[in-house]
């Protein structure tokens, strides 16, 4: 961190980790001039918009009326204490905040589920039933010579994926092929996406997201020497599929990349199963791995902490006093639609876009100032963003490392962990 003095104090923070997408890019340089942030280096459009967002004035409220933090905390504790089945959702917070969620949910007999868990469960169902072999962002960046990108344009989730992982300026071990091949299967982005000194051949196999599993299944069959009578699979000719099969055979380190949130189709877990099955097949003769992306809004962090604390992934209930896991029954979206649950506690401390669902159930919101709200909650408490207003930790989308987040001193706002601890203490 560099400091300068003058009429308005200025601080420049180096090697900042960005909390606004699951990749947690940690090479940003950000200036704080009197509480106003400016991204100086290495920011994508999304990170610039989030770091430089002007926070509107905000104060704790009870039913739309400004109150003190102590009063809002007391009211929240009263609502949670009186609830028979409180639902703890949103969960966009860091490791410390999620630990506090688990503690108060256990105390209150509540249900715990992240707002983006539907995408995550496209992975979890496969991992639980069949297992998989996966890589990391770092290993992919340094070693891959073939990347097969499955699904729609992952830049929407991770704007710097191609810059930092697919075509980085250098590699750690100097073993990466001089140029790597990139294959897109599904909704193919503009060709200019996959550019850079390390990108060689770019192969585009365009098909609907619903047909990706069929294409991958045909590829697996051809790699195993099976005959296919049809001339196409998922709208892709067998000749093209055979060419991809040969690229797979020649690869020294291939990686199949997918982002579960982009596979927004019925039974998308079957597509993930085909992608991970392809990796298993190829590992009989060579080195291949999968790489799952996503994890925005602290989703990977929430799932990891839930597993540490309870032994289960998200969608658990403490109604019996012990954690009970049911990925269908304890989906908060399903519970609200079915009229289950009598209180919603919504946590959205990272971006202003993770709005609580419109519901008649009384709602407590711990949110970043400017959070989009369809209706006034019973209690609103403005909270800080980890990595911006206070320090913290988030777990990267590949689930292998937690990165420290710096306090950039944007605003004096309480941490989710501290607010929840105060509420729990008042129960």
Residue 178 has pLDDT above 70, yes or no: no
pLDDT, tens digit (0-9, with 9 covering 90-100), for 37-83 = 999 999 999 999 999 999 999 999 999 999 999 999 999 999 999 99
Ranges of beta strands (E only) in 272-422 are 288-292, 316-317, 324-325, 343-348, 363-367, 379-382, 392-395, 402-405
pLDDT at site 201: 85
Query: Considering the entire predicted model, what is its pTM?
Result: 0.92
Give the closest residue to 279 by CA, choosing from 127, 173, 417, 393. Answer: 127
- 133-293 carries CATH number 3.40.228.10: yes
Sign of CA dihedral 126, 128, 133, 135: positive
pLDDT at site 155: 84
Residue 4 has pLDDT above 80, yes or no: no
Tokens of 67: 């109150």
pLDDT, tens digit (0-9, with 9 covering 90-100), for 346-384 = 999 999 999 999 999 999 999 999 999 989 999 999 999
pLDDT at site 57: 93
Give the closest residue to 389 by CA, choosing from 406, 371, 369, 366. Answer: 406
pLDDT at site 123: 86
Q: Where are the domains of the chain?
A: 2-51, 61-116+297-426, 133-293
Whether the CB-CB separation of 142 and 176 falls below 8 Å is answered with yes
pLDDT, tens digit (0-9, with 9 covering 90-100), for 101-110 = 999 999 999 9
**What is each CA distance from 125 to 33, 155, 260, 270, 316, in whole angstroms?**
47, 25, 12, 9, 15
Query: In sequence order, what are the residues at sequence separation of 6 or more whose Cβ sits closer than 8 angstroms to the Cβ of residue 226?
Result: none
The class (CATH top level) of 61-116+297-426 is: alpha beta
Residue 426 has pLDDT above 50, yes or no: yes
How far is it, in rounded angstroms, from Cα 174 to Cα 47?
30
Same CATH fold, 133-293 and 61-116+297-426? no
């Amino acid at each position: 961190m560099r400091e300068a003095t003058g009429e308005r104090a200025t601080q420049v923070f180096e090697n900042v980790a960005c909390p606004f997408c699951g990749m947690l890019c940690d090479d940003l340089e950000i200036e704080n001039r009197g509480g106003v942030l400016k991204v100086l280096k290495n920011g994508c459009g999304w990170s610039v918009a989030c770091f430089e967002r002007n926070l509107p004035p905000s104060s704790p409220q009870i039913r739309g009326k400004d109150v003190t933090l102590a009063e809002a905390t007391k009211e929240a504790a009263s609502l949670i204490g009186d609830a028979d089945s409180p639902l703890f959702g949103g969960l966009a917070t860091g490791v410390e905040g999620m630990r506090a969620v688990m503690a108060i949910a256990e105390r209150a007999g509540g249900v715990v589920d992240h707002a983006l868990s539907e995408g995550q469960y496209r992975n979890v169902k496969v991992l639980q039933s069949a297992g998989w072999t996966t890589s990391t962002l770092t290993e992919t960046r340094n070693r891959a010579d073939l990347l097969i990108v499955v699904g729609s344009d992952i830049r929407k989730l991770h704007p710097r994926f191609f810059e930092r992982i697919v075509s980085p300026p250098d590699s750690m071990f100097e073993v990466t092929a001089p140029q790597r091949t990139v294959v897109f299967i599904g909704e193919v982005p503009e060709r200019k996406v996959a550019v850079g000194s390390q990108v060689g051949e770019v192969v585009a196999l365009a098909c609907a997201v619903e047909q990706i599993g069929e294409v991958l299944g045909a590829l697996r069959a051809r790699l195993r020497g099976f005959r296919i009578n049809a001339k196409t699979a998922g709208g892709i000719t067998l000749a093209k599929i055979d060419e991809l099969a040969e690229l797979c055979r020649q690869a020294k380190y291939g990686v199949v990349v997918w982002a579960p949130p982009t596979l927004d189709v019925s039974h998308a877990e079957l597509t993930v199963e085909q992608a991970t099955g392809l990796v298993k097949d190829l590992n009989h003769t060579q080195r291949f791995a999968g790489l799952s992306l996503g994890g925005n809004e602290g989703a990977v962090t929430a799932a990891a902490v839930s597993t540490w604390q309870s032994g289960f992934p998200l969608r658990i209930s403490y109604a019996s006093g012990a954690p009970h896991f049911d990925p269908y029954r304890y989906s908060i979206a399903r519970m609200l639609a079915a009229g289950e649950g009598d209180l919603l506690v919504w946590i959205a401390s990272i971006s202003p876009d993770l709005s609580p669902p419109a519901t008649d159930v009384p709602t407590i919101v711990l949110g970043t100032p400017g959070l989009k709200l369809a209706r006034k909650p019973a209690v609103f408490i403005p909270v800080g963003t980890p990595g911006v207003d206070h320090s913290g930790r988030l777990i990267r989308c590949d689930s292998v490392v937690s990165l420290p987040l710096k306090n950039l001193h944007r605003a004096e706002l309480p941490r989710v962990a501290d607010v929840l601890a105060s509420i729990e203490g008042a129960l």
